[in-house]
Structure formats: structure tokens, C-alpha cells
Chains A and B, each alone.
Chain A
Amino acid sequence: MRSLIFRTSSVFLLPALLVFSVVVLFRGHNEPGGGFVGGLLAASAFSLYALAYSVEEARRLLPLSLTTILGLGLAIALLSGAPAMLMGDAWFTGVWPQGLPAFGEVKFGTVTLFDIGVYLVVLAVTLIMILSLAEDAE
């Protein structure tokens, strides 16, 4: 089943897919892409690794437990609405701070933050489903 080619290539594919998923995430603001697709891509990267090695190995790669990632994603998405409220607008109104030193010309607002939250939620939920099914099979 687990061929050497598959194992070796998955080690290289994992970082490439993860980088690509982040690119898709940020591209999503004005072009096709976004948090949902990005999250799916990232989840597929980890599931590929789980197929090549084992579910245990794949879980070890994740810095946090999947439940925590899920909570983190939901919290980021929910809190991305808070800045607008602090500024006196309705919850989830887009806030685009001007002249962030670190980002230069890049537009980075609460909407992007919401998308990052979606990315994490999709990543976590998909992985929870796939990994528990794979664990049963193992």
C-alpha cells in the first residue's frame, strides 16, 4: 500500500500544499479563493500525509489539538466583528485600518481576519472528520 514514492513525495507535497493554501486564502479577497477553499486545501495536505504515514504521525504534525484549532478559528471569526462595534458600527462591519506599517500597500482588514477564522474552522472540521474515519479503518 504505502509505496516509497508516495511516502517521499508526500513529505515534499505537504509544505507546498500548505503554502499554496495560504496563497489561496489571501487571494480570495478580490479573486477566486478564500478561507473555505484554503482550509480544504490545508486539510487535504494533512490527510495526504496521514494516508502516507499514519493518523498518529499526522496528528503529531499539528501544533495544537484539532478542537483547539476549531475553537481558535471560530473565536477569530466571531471577534473580527468586535472592532466595528468598538468604533460604534454594527457587528461585522468591515474595518480597514489605513497605513499599517508592516503591510505597506497590502489591504488588511477585519474581513481578512474573518476569512482566516473560516480557514482554521474548515481545516479543523475536515480533519476531525477525515482522521476519525481513518482511525477507525486502521
Chain B
Amino acid sequence: MNSSVALPVLIPFATAIACLFVWNSTRLQRGITLLGTVGLLLSGLVLFQEVETYGVVSIQMSGWSAPYGITLVADRLGAIMVLLNGVVALTGVLYAFGSIDKGREKFGFYPLLSAMFGGVSGAFLTGDVFNLYVWFEVVLMSSFVLLALGGERPQLEGAIKYVTLNLLSSTLFLVGIGVLYGFAGTLNFADLAVKLAQTDRPELITVTAFIFLCAFGIKAAAFPFFFWLPASYHTPPPVVSGVFAGVLTKVGVYAIFRMFSLVYTQEMWLTHFIILWMGAITMLTGVLGAAVQTDIRRILAFHSISQIGYMLSGFGIAGVGISAAMAAGVEGQAERAAMLTAGAGMALAGAIFFVLHHSLVKMNLFFVAGAVKKLRNAEELEQVGGLYHARPFLGAMFLIPALSLAGIPILSGFWAKLALVRAGLEVGTYAVVAISLVVSILTLFSMTKIWANGFWAPPPDTPDGERGSDPGDEEDPPGYRLMLVPIVTLVVLMVAMSVLVGPAFRVVQKAADQLLADRVYIQQLWESSGKIERIDALLEERNYVTTVLGEEYLRALLMPIEEEAP
């Protein structure tokens, strides 16, 4: 049995529980949480290594076989996301050590953080739709309390908006699950994928697909469901905003990637076309929203929306490409079909790469905003100013990820966008490519605004032309140096990802190819129904479907004739 799949979920919860026993000692809670997040990162690495060797690993909790029991499964995409969760957790906790106040620490900040990371791991690893819902709720509840903890007035307002809209999403999600279960009789991803691939009523399935798209769209903060994000992200302590930007919306994006690559592939010309345009409009509205903001974290929050748009449109390009390739294949244009399939693979890989890039960069920018808040006790650009002169190092730590976010060459954002643009041109979604390029320029504009007003402009209280205080004069506020550790770590990781873009992109390309291969495999399975030798050969392959469901179950599904044999 592969316990390594369960560890990224068990470790954070064990950490949260251990913190309950030392409720009165924040010092011990810090130690335990640090240990727990290091454990989470290590377990993510182990899982990543295992998936690298075996392709897919799964575990049936309590030993009940799928599709009846609770399945935890990690394919390449899941393992990458869990690893990302580990990185976010460790840097986030380190940043919290330097920045979080005593009051919040006392009221369970650390156990809540651990519970949230456990929920996120669970969402990335679960093998069925209902448990995805359960993990969404775990994440929602712990993040809601994290958002409201401290009870400042704007915080509560943000938290109420956040929890109301997200509960609406949960309700939609549950409705979708009910309809889907009534239709298919199963909720296991792999089982759904196999059973729904063979249906004569694809339009009914597409209806449930759109219910899920709305639910996940709210979670991911996609157009037109993103209102909760700009209303809440700037209110809590910066570490909470950073961690939320790192993993929270990514859970929604991941859910869309998973459901719409494995389960909902019946009418891709429709579903994925809508995802494509949802993404395009999301990036445009997000960046336009950011243009009018003057608060650093509000700008960053709107940019989160805009960047989510890139991920969704990348995924949409992949879906549209696959469906166009299928059409071309039917018409006998093999060459065109191959080109479209390659384009789709690149788009999906680009979208996954974008998820990783954005997590690191956006978290970093939120953390820098937190450091600015600590230094100047303000977040309005007009009140900041002069930071480049006083803190050149912090300026650099802001500039690198900001340029990466805008997509300046050799930084990670450039590679992510390059992949999406190239794939978009190959598949032929020219309008979306054009939009994404315009949004890039507008992103650069917003980042320049923060840079020019927050870092370059003279401090607000000094008259024009006069230089601010000398760098040596200002003392570091308590915790400031500790806050720089995760900031530098994230910049180093991001730069590593940019410089080693070849190997990094190969990893996500493999994950994307694996996702796309599942659909083809399931088709082959049904085509070979009734032919024993073909099925035997197919079942030897080790992939998502066979690993989760097992040979016996699939054989029974594909060979219903056996019972009638005399």
C-alpha cells in the first residue's frame, strides 16, 4: 500500500492536533508547525519522486476498493500541486513567524493554517467528486476563520463576503454532485470518466458540467464570479493574503483542470470553448480592475484574478485544440490533427506552468507588500514612497517578481505566456492570444505604478527634490529580517524556475501529456470492449484509470457478456 499518498494529508492534520495540546504556548505551537510544514514539504517531495517512477500512485482508505471506498490518488499533476502546497506552507509559516501579531497567534492561527494546508492537500489528492467537496469545505472553513481572525472591522466585512459567496459555490457544487450521481451512479473520478465516455445523452452530462463550472469558477475567482476576491484579499494580515493567493484559488483551478480533463470530455467544442472565453474575459476584467486601484494589496488581488484568466484560457486552448484535432481526424487530415494535438499539449503544460509561476510570484508580491506595511505602516501608494532609496534590497525583491508577473523575458512569467501564446497560435485562437498580449502590457503598467509611486517617488512627508532619510538611519522593525527569508526564498525559486525552464517545462509537459492520455486510453478501452486480447493488453498499462479502479473491476465492466456464457 502506498502510504506516501496519504501523508501530505495526515501530516498537516496531525500538526494542527498537536498544536491543540499546547494551546497556551505559542512558542511550542511555532515549533510544531514548523516541523509539520517541513514534513509536508518532504512528503510532497517523496510523493513527487514516487509519481516520477510509477506514473500514478493511489491508496484506498480503509481498504474498501474503488469506486465504493475513499480513494486518494496522485498523478503527475496532483503530485506537482502537493509539492507546491508544501513550498507555500513552509514559506508562509516562516513569514508568519516574522509578521503575525501575538493576539492572532494566541487564538489558533497556526493550527488553522495547518488545517488549511491539509485541506488543500486533500483536494489535490482526492479521487472522487464528493470528497473534493468535503475538502473544499475543510479549506473554506479554516480559511474563513483565518480571514476573520483578529476581528478588525474591514476584516469581518471581507470575511462575510468571502464566506457567503463561497458557500453559494459549495451549494452549487453539491447540487451538481447530486445530479451527477443520479445520472451516473458513481462519483469516483476514474469510474465517472470510464462510464461517461460511453453515453448516448452527452447534452445531459454537459448540463452538470456547467453547474460544476459555476461552482469551481467561484472558487477560482473567474469572470463573472470573482467579486469575493477583491473584497477580501486586502483585509487580513499579509501572510494570509499571500498564502491564499498561493494555494486557495489554485484549488478551484485544479478542480477545473481535473474535472474537465478526465470527466467532462464529451462536448469539448462547447465546454472548453466557454472556459477559454471565461479565461480571456477574466484576465481582461482583472487587469482593468487593477488599473484603477491605489492600494498595493488591492492591485495585487485584482492581478490574481487576471492571472487566473491566463490559466483558464490555457486550459481552454487545450480543450478547443483537442476537439478540433478530433474533427480533423474524422475528416482524414492526420497532419493537421497531429499539429493541433501538440498545440493542445503545449497549452495545457503552459497552464500548469502558469499555476506554479503565479503561486510563487504572487505570494512573493503579497509578502513584499506586507514588508512595506511593516516599514511604513501604510499600503496606499501615496503614503508609501521612497522605499527604493531606503531599502534597495526590498526594491529588488519586488522588482524581480513584478517583472516576472508582467512577462518580461527570461523570467518565469515570460515562459508561461510564451507557451500559451505559441499554443494559441497553433490551435488558432487568435483573439484570445491578442487579449493576453494586451493584458500583459496592462500588467506591466500596474507593476510600474507600484514601483514608481511606492519605491521611486519621494516619501510623502518630504518636499519635492529633497532626498529621504539615509539608508542607515532607519532601524529594522522587529521581525523584518525574518520576513525577508521567505521573500528571498521565493525569489530564488522563481529565478531557478526561469533559468532552468527546460527541465521545469519538461516536468509540467509530462503532467499535461498524462492528463491528455487518459481520455485517449478510455476511448481505446471502450473500442476494445468484448475483445479479450485487446483488453488484456490495455489493462497492462499503468495509468489513472487502471491504478484507481483495478483490473478486475474494469474487466467486469468491459466484459458483461461473460455471465451469459454457458
Contact = CB atoms under 8 A, between A and B. Distances in A.
Given A78-B10, A78-B13, A85-B3, A90 B61 contact: yes
A92 B17 contact: no
Interface size class of chain A, counting residues whose CB lies under 8 Å from the partner chain? 10 to 19
B62 A93 contact: yes
B502 interface: no
Contacts of B21: 68, 71-72, 75
Give the one of B3, B13, B18, B62 with max A CB within 10 A.
B62
B20 A68 contact: yes
A91 B6 contact: yes
Contact of A70 (B1, B20, B63): B20
Give the one of B13, B17, B23 with max A CB within 10 A.
B17
Contacts of B61: 90-92
A65 interface: yes
Interface string A81-94: 00011001111111
B20 A67 contact: yes
B3 A92 contact: no
A71 B1 contact: no
Interface size class of chain B, counting residues whose CB lies under 8 Å from the partner chain? 10 to 19
B59 interface: yes
Nearest to B16: A74
Contacts of A85: 1, 3
B342 interface: no
B118 to A, nearest CB: 11
Contact of A89 (B13, B17, B63): B63
A90 B17 contact: no
Given A65-B23, A89-B1, A78 B59 contact: no
Interface in B51-86: 59-63
A85 B1 CA distance: 9
Contacts of A89: 1, 63
Contacts of B17: 71, 74-75, 78
Give the one of B10, B14, B20, B21 with max A CB within 10 A.
B20
Contacts of B63: 84, 89-90, 93
B20 A91 contact: no
A83 to B, nearest CB: 13
A9 to B, nearest CB: 34
A68 B14 contact: no
A93 B64 CA distance: 8
Interface of B: 1, 3, 6, 10, 13-14, 17-18, 20-21, 23, 59-63
Interface of A: 65, 67-68, 70-72, 74-75, 78, 84-85, 88-94
13 contacts: A65-B23, A68-B21, A70-B20, A71-B23, A72-B21, A74-B20, A75-B17, A75-B21, A84-B62, A90-B3, A90-B6, A90-B61, A91-B62
